[in-house]
């Protein structure tokens, strides 16, 4: 998910986490011309939403990964690594997520929507029949059932523990069942 920060005056900064690389793109569109500069740094995967903070004459960017904290300073069209100690945390704002990268960036593969799970219709294959709710599979004269409790389930009349049909004594309290 790329993030963007609007510097104003037609300048925008885009931050993206591509694999383990942080890609920073600075796009400026002024006086009818488009300019773009950028940098790529091996940072690892972000663990927090990247942040930006205004400084004199530019902006600072910060992202956090399992490998540590990375801070960049953007001034004009220059992007450079900066000292994490210089990060003005009190001025920081979270970057805004954006739907797609800037037009000049390589297009990303569109995300395929995941269809919602449909309730399973009974399915018949040869002499096998499957149905859901409860999950039941019938093969010939054999039936497998999962999920719902079988009706043969019994409980101890003394302590209420579940007992196996046919058990003579409760496994919990020893109460004689039959």
Q: Residue 159 or 165: which CB sits closer to Zn ion?
A: 159
Output the six-digit token pair for 4: 């963007």
Find out whether the peptide bond into 134 is cis, omega within 30 degrees of 0: yes
Q: Residue 13 or 163: which CB sits closer to Zn ion?
A: 163
Per CB under 5 A, residues contacting Zn ion are 156, 158-159, 161, 170, 172-173, 175
Q: Residue 52 or 163: which CB sits closer to Zn ion?
A: 163
Contact present, 68 and 77 (Cβ < 8 Å): no
Shortest Å distance, C-beta 165 to Zn ion? 15
What is the three-class DSSP state of 27? strand
Measured distance CA(125)–CA(121) in Å, rounded: 13
What is the three-class DSSP state of 53? strand
Q: Residue 132 or 173: which CB sits closer to Zn ion?
A: 173
């Amino acid at each position: 998910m790329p993030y963007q920060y609007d510097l104003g005056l037609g300048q925008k900064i885009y931050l993206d986490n591509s694999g383990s690389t942080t890609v920073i793109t600075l796009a400026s569109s002024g006086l009818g011309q488009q300019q773009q500069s950028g940098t790529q740094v091996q940072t690892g995967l972000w663990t927090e939403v990247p942040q930006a903070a205004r400084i004199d004459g530019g902006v600072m960017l910060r992202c956090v990964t399992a490998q540590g904290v990375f801070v960049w300073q953007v001034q004009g069209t220059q992007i450079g690594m900066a000292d994490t100690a210089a990060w003005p945390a009190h001025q920081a704002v979270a970057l805004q997520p954006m739907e797609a990268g800037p037009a000049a960036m390589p297009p990303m593969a569109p995300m395929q929507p995941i269809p919602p799970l449909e309730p399973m219709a009974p399915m018949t294959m040869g002499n096998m029949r499957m149905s859901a709710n409860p999950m039941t599979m019938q093969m010939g004269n054999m039936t497998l059932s999962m999920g719902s409790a079988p009706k043969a389930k019994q409980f101890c009349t003394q302590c209420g523990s579940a007992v196996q049909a046919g058990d003579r004594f409760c496994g919990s309290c020893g109460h004689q069942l039959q």
